[in-house]
Structure 1
C-alpha cells in the first residue's frame, strides 16, 4: 500500500523538484517582477478597469489570498503550483500504471520551451491554466459537470488566455470521445455520476444515447461549464470599449528562436515573439535539433499510444464489480491495483479515448501559431472585422495542446521500449536540453524587495476617500528599475492602488531586423489622456483633472506638470495631487 501511494505521489514530487530547480533565486525574499508578472505588497481588491480585462480574475484572487498570506508567499506558492499541477496532471493522463512512462510525461510537461518562455514573459496566469489542461481532459473523459468545473478552476483563475487554451482542448476532446466514453460500462450520463446500466441497489440508468447525440450533449455541457467560468472576464470584455489594433498581428506573430526557422521553432515548442523570453542557449543548433528530434519521437509515440494489458470489452467491464469498487484506467497506480473498465471507450491495449481530441487541439493550436507568421493578412482581416479575434494575435500561446501531446507521446515511447534506462533518459532529457532554464533562467527570475517609498505612496493614495484616478508617468507601459536588476516589468503602479490607474497600454515591439511596431492603446481613457499629455503643458493639469485624474505619479527627475500639489517626493518617485473640479 505504501509503495502504491509513493508511486501515485511521485509525479507531483517530481514536479515540485523541477519547480524548485527552475525558480531558484525567485524563491528568495521579495517579489519576482518580470514583464507581465507583477505582484505587489498588499494588493487592493479592485474591479476591472476600462481596458481589456487581461488580469481578471487573477488579480482579484491574488488580492484575496494576500489578505490571508504574505504576498510574497502567494506568488511563490502559485509559481511552484504550476510545476506540481502540470507534472501530476500529465502523469494522470498516461494510460499505464508503470511509473517510468508517467514520470516521463510529468518531466516533459513541467519542463519545456513553451513553459520556460511563457514564464520568462511573466505569464504565470496563462501557465496556471496550461498546468491544469491534463486534469480538464481527464474530467471530460470521466464525465460530470462538477468534475469538469473543478478541473478548470486553475484556468478560470488564470483568465481569458488560460480559458481560451483550455476551451480548445476541452471542446475538441468532448466532440471526439467515443459515444459512451467517460462512463463506466460505456453507458450512463454525467448527471448520474457515470454509472453503468444498473447502479448497485438502484434503478436502471437511462439507456445510452446514439453516438452523435452523446457528443453534442457532452460538448454542450462542456461549453456551458466553460462559459460560466469565463463570466468574470467575459462580461467586462464585452462591456468595455477596448479596441484591437491589427498591427498587433505582426508584433505578436511567432518568430524563429533558433536555426530551424519559425515552423521548426514551433515544433520544438518555442517561437515566442519576444526575444528576451528565450531561454539562454536555446537558439543553438544542438538545443533546437534535439527538441525537434524529441518532437518527432513524441508524435510517433502518441500515434502508438495505448494502455497496458489486453483489451477489455464493455461487457466484461460491466461485470467488474459495483461502481464504488471501480478505479478508472486513467488513474495512476500499478496495474494490479486497478480494475479496468471500458469507461474511457477502449482500455487495455486500446487507444485512450482522449487521443483524437488532444491530437485535434494540437493541430489546431499549431495552425493558429503558424497563421500570424505565415498568413498574417488573414488574421489582420479577422481582427479588423471584429476585435474579438484579438486573442489570436499571439498564436504561439496555443501550442499548449501540442506540449501535452508531446508529453503523452514520450510516455508512450518509454512504454514501448519497456526499459528502465529509457525511462531515466526520458525524465532527464527535458532538463538536459534546456539546462539554462534552471536557477531562474540563470538569474532572469529573481526575487527583489520594493523600496519603502512605494509602500508610503500606496498608503497615502489608498487612504484618500476622495474619488479620482491616478495617472502613472512616464507615459509608457513598462519600466526597468535599478532595484529590480534592470529587468523589464509592467508598471507596478497598475496593481498597487485601490482606485483607477491610467497608464499607457500602447505597446512598442521591436522587430528582428530593427525597427519597431506600434500597437495602439486599447483603453479609451488612456487615448484621451495621451492626447492631453501631447498638448499645451500649461493647461495639462486642468485638462487631466477634467478627465477625472486626482493623482499623478511620476519619476522624481521628471516634471511633466507645471501645476499640482506635491504630496510626496522620494529618491525615485514623486506624487502630485490635482485639486481641480472635474
Structure 2
C-alpha cells in the first residue's frame, strides 16, 4: 500500500505543476486562441510562407530569423502558419513554467507547492511580458529551454558516476541526458540568440569532461544560421555601433537600470512594456520578486538543500546538484550585472568597439535579452525559500513531515500572490495587446499574381508599418513572409529617435532608386521584378510615382497595388543552387537533432536519484 501511495503522490507531484503551467500559459496568451494571425511589432505570422533565399538566411540581411522562417515555410503548406506560431508560443510558455518545476524538483527535491512558486517565477515576470509585447515569440522558445537545459546539464554531470560505478541505469540516463541537451539546443536554436542562451547555460554547468561534446552539439544546433552567415556573408560584416546605445537596457520608474534588470525588466523599447511597468508598480513588483528570491538564496547554495543520503552514489549526485545550483546563482548575478554595465557610458564604448570590430557581435547589442539566464536560479531560490519559510512556520522537526506541512502550501499561496498582483496586466494577452489580426484578402490575390522572376521591392520605404487592421503599434512588414519571392529589406531600424543601419546594401540601393524616381530599366538591372505598394500605411514615397508610371500594373485594391517591372536581369549566381543545397542540409540536420534528441530523452530517462 505504501508503494502504491508513493506512486500516486509522485504522479500528483508531476501533474499538478504541469497543469498549473498550462493554466498560466493560457491566461497569458489566451486571446491568441481566436482566429487570426499574430502581428505585433517584430512578430509576424502569415497563412503561408515560402522557402525563399531570405527564409534560408541567404539573403541580403543577417540571418536573425533562421531557422525560424524556414521551419514555418516548410510546415505552412500543410498547417496554417498562424496556427503553427500560436502553438509554438503556447508550448514555449508551458515548457518554461513546467521546466522550472522539474528543475526545482530534481535539484532541491521540493514538494508540489514550492514547484508552483517556481512555475510562477518563470512565467509571470516582466521579461515574458516585455518580450511578448516586442513580438519575440521565437526568443521565448530559447527562454523556455533554459530550465530544461540546466536539468540536462546536471544529469550529464551526475552521470559521470557511471564511469566509476559501472551502473547500467545511469549509463542509459546519460544517453537520455545527452539527447535532452541536443533537443534543448535545437529548440532554443529557433533563433541565434536562443542558441546562445542555452549554450551559455550548458557550458557553465556540464563540467570540463563534458565540455567538448556540449560545444559540438551547440555547433550542430546552430548550423542553419552559422551556415547562412558563412554563405551569404551578410552577418559577417560588423554591425552599426549606433545599435549599442539604441538597444541598451532601460531604467524603469523608481528603479535604476540595475534594479530594472534584477527585476527581469528593462527592455530597450519603452513602448513594449505593460501599463503596470510605467507606474510605481514596477518598483513594488521588483522589490517583491527580489524578496521572494532572497528567501531561498542560502538554501539553494547550501549542501543541505535536498534530502541527504548515505549511499555513496547518491551522495555524489547530491554534490553534482550543489555545484549546478551554485553555478546557476553565479550565472544569474552575471546575467544582471553585465547588461547593467553595458548600459553605462564606458560599457557602451566597449560594446561599440566590439560590434564595430568583431563580425557577428551584433547579436550581443540587445543586452537585456540575456537577463533570461537568471530565470533558472530565480526559480530555484523562490522554491527553496517557500520550503524554508514553510518549515520554519510549521515548527516540524521531521523533514518528511515538513514536506507535507500546510504551512508550505500557505507560504506558496502568499508567494504566488506577491508575484502575480503587481503584474496583473500580464493576463489576457498582456492587457489585450497580444491579439490576432485578420489580413485583407488582397494579400492572397497579390501572391497569386506573382508568377514571374525577380525580387520584390516594397513601398513606402522602411521595414515597419501601421495598418488599420494591425493596431496602434508599428509592425514589421509582413510582405517578406507573405510573398513567394525574396522581398528586399534594408534592415534599418528606427530606435529611440535614431536609425540603426542594417546590412541590406542591395535593398538600400533599390529603395533609394525608387524614392528618387529612377527608371524601370534601372530597377530591372538590379534584379527587381515586382514592386508592391502598401497603400494604407504611412511612410516615405519620395518621387516613386515617376518610377511606378513606367511599370505594368497587375493588381490593385484599396490596400495593395502590385506592379511588374518590364525587363528583369537574372542576378542568380552559379553558386546559388549549391548554397541552397548546403542550407537545406543544415536545416535538415537541425530538425533531425530536435526530433531525435527529444525522442532519445523520452526513451532513456535517468533513474531518480532519491
Give SS of 2:29's match. Answer: helix
The one-character-per-residue Cα deviations of 1:346-381 (angstroms, maximum 9, x if unpaired) are: 28xxx6331133123223322331233112111101
Partner of residue 568 from structure 1, selected from 555, 559, 565: 555
What corresponds to 2:50 in structure 1? 44
In structure 2, distance between residues paired with 1:545 and 1:343: 68
The one-character-per-residue Cα deviations of 1:322-354 (angstroms, maximum 9, x if unpaired) are: xxxxxxxxxxxxxxxxxxx2463428xxx6331
In structure 1, distance between residues paired with 2:335 and 2:126: 16
Residue 532 of structure 1 pairs with residue 520 of structure 2: no
What corresponds to 2:296 in structure 1? 301
In structure 2, distance between residues paired with 1:401 and 1:236: 26
Give SS of 1:484's match. Answer: coil
8 Å CA contact retained: 1:43, 1:63: yes
Superposed displacement of residue 62, structure 1: 2.1
In structure 2, distance between residues paired with 1:488 and 1:524: 23
Give SS of 2:495's match. Answer: strand
What corresponds to 1:265 in structure 2? 260
* TM value normalised by structure 1: 0.83
Residue 13 of structure 1 pairs with residue 27 of structure 2: no
Residue 435 of structure 1 pairs with residue 405 of structure 2: no
* TM value normalised by structure 2: 0.79
In structure 2, distance between residues paired with 1:427 and 1:575: 53
Higher helix share: 2
In structure 2, distance between residues paired with 1:298 and 1:540: 63
8 Å CA contact retained: 1:265, 1:271: yes
Partner of residue 524 from structure 2, selected from 522, 538, 545: 545
Partner of residue 248 from structure 1, selected from 243, 264, 268: 243
What corresponds to 1:330 in structure 2? none
In structure 2, distance between residues paired with 1:378 and 1:565: 51
1:517–1:387 distance in 2 versus 1, CA, 3 Å: farther
1:235–1:309 distance in 2 versus 1, CA, 3 Å: closer
8 Å CA contact retained: 1:475, 1:503: no
What corresponds to 2:33 in structure 1? 27
In structure 2, distance between residues paired with 1:564 and 1:129: 44
More moved, 448-457 vs 71-80: 71-80
What corresponds to 1:171 in structure 2? 203
In structure 2, distance between residues paired with 1:79 and 1:236: 25
Residue 70 of structure 1 pairs with residue 80 of structure 2: yes
What corresponds to 1:472 in structure 2? 458
What corresponds to 1:358 in structure 2? 328
8 Å CA contact retained: 2:89, 2:138: no
Superposed displacement of residue 112, structure 1: 0.6
In structure 2, distance between residues paired with 1:90 and 1:112: 13
Q: Which segments of 5 or more consecutive residues in structure 2 lack a partner in the other structure?
A: 1-6, 157-173, 391-406, 570-610
1:397–1:474 distance in 2 versus 1, CA, 3 Å: same
Give SS of 1:571's match. Answer: coil
In structure 1, distance between residues paired with 2:298 and 2:369: 24
In structure 2, distance between residues paired with 1:275 and 1:310: 45
Aligned residues: 504
In structure 1, distance between residues paired with 2:306 and 2:234: 57
In structure 1, distance between residues paired with 2:331 and 2:72: 30
Residue 452 of structure 1 pairs with residue 484 of structure 2: no
More moved, 480-489 vs 375-384: 480-489
8 Å CA contact retained: 1:129, 1:163: yes
8 Å CA contact retained: 2:95, 2:144: yes
